[in-house]
Amino acid sequence: MNYLTELLAFYHWLSAHPMPALLQAYWHLLMYFNNKSALPDVSGVWHWPVAFKAPNSVVMANLGLDDRRKVMRQRSKLIEAGRVTYEKDTGNRAGWYRMVPFDKGLAKGWAQLEKQKQPTQVWTQTGTQNGHTGGLFINNALNNKHASLYSSIPDGGVAPSPEAAMEAMKRNVNSVFGTDIFKLYEE
């Protein structure tokens, strides 16, 4: 799952499905918990688990709620809106949340994550749209941004080499400062 893609899609979705600020904050909090629960697999690739926990006490504290029934009421509204599912756990243990991703290119898969004895169900990217070559992209209709700290790539373009990307970044930084700050640093 891609945090930025989901965030952009959420705000796009909100334009047609308005919801109170408290519910928006709840959704953001759950995205945070889902992202925080991500772990690398045995090869080092990071994955967001499909199911994750967020204790009611923590949800209450973060949302400024003073009663767990208020959490349950707000959770049911998020479920009705189709943004999450929830499964109670036994006793007083935190239940299992599952985000409903906006990115339709995601599917549930299994990965052997570090620190886990059993395979974990995770979100996996099933395909891309309008794939570019030569670089990491977040390819879908919601977020087609090139994922680079150094440069951007025009639509239909080819990713620059790392050296060319570094030179582009230096030009951008130097244009802001009006001098070659990298040369000053080297002296």
Residue at 172 is within a domain: no
pTM over 0.75? The answer is no
One-letter amino acid for residue 81 of the chain:
A
Exposure of 5 by Cβ count < 10 A (0-12 exposed, 13-18 middle, 19+ buried)? buried
Residue at 158 is within a domain: no
pLDDT per position as a tens digit, 128-150: 444 433 333 344 455 555 444 44
Residue range(s) defining the domain that contains residue 34: 3-39+47-105
Residue at 110 is within a domain: no
* Total number of domains constituting the chain: 1
Residue at 168 is within a domain: no
pLDDT per position as a tens digit, 14-70: 999 999 999 999 999 999 999 999 888 888 888 899 999 999 999 999 999 999 999
Return contacts of 75-81, CB within 8 angstroms, 24+ apart.
75/26, 77/19, 77/23, 78/23, 78/26, 78/27, 78/30, 81/17, 81/19, 81/23
Residue at 181 is within a domain: no
Q: What's the CATH number where 8 sits?
A: 1.10.10.10
